[in-house]
Amino acid sequence: MTLQDLLAFAERHLYLSLALAGLTVALVYTEIARLFRGYKALRPAELTGLINRDNALVVDLSASGDFEKGHIAGSKSVQPSQFDPENKLLASAKSLPVVVVCRNGQASGDAAKRLKKAGFEKVYWLEGGVQAWQQADLPLVKGRA
């Protein structure tokens, strides 16, 4: 396929060409934003390594009932409405790795951003949340922490 063929296709299929250009720009923007957000996404296997190797603090933003049904061993329950980077539990861990988790990975991303803005050095979030942890066949603990 030559450049002339591509240009001819683009002229014949203007909407498809514009959609491709728009999707490409969106993907590039998303990847660049990910590089500069200041916190890192972890997969479940990476989180187990961080907990075992670096004694990471895992903060679970799940609702109380969901937390009691199953949470990552050693994680601390913090209600999203009570989440504050200056909380005594969190403030003492500014230099430790802090991993924020929730049920599906949505709320924890915003919390990780707040921690980074508050001066926490090593901030992570569990991509896919506790659901991803379960899908990786990793154990959950029931009850209160």
Per-residue pLDDT of the chain in tens (145 residues, 90 and over written 9): 898 988 898 899 999 989 999 999 998 987 777 667 778 889 999 999 999 999 899 999 999 899 999 999 999 999 888 888 888 878 778 888 999 999 987 788 889 988 988 888 899 999 999 999 999 999 999 987 5
Q: What is the pLDDT of residue 138?
A: 93
Q: Can you tell me whether residue 8 is helix, strand or coil?
A: helix
| Same domain flag for 22 and 76 | no
| Cβ neighbours of residue 67 closer than 8 Å, sequence gap 6 or more | 60, 77, 144, 145
Ramachandran angles phi, psi of 100, nearest 5°? -105, 130
The Cα–Cα gap between 55 and 46 comes to 13
Q: What is the pLDDT of residue 19?
A: 92
Q: What is the pLDDT of residue 145?
A: 56
| Same domain flag for 45 and 116 | yes
**Where does residue 115 fall: left (phi above 0), alpha (psi -120 to 50 degrees), or beta otherwise?**
alpha
The Cα–Cα gap between 87 and 79 comes to 12
Q: What is the pLDDT of residue 35?
A: 66
| Same domain flag for 30 and 65 | no
| Same domain flag for 102 and 124 | yes
Q: What is the pLDDT of residue 44?
A: 94
The Cα–Cα gap between 89 and 83 comes to 10
Q: How many domains does the chain have?
A: 2
Q: Within the chain, where are the H helices?
A: 3-12, 14-36, 44-54, 64-69, 88-91, 107-117, 129-135
List the domain range (segments joined by +) for residue 66: 39-135
Q: What is the pLDDT of residue 85?
A: 87
Instruction: Give 13-33 pLDDT, tens digit per residue.
Output: 999 989 999 999 998 987 777
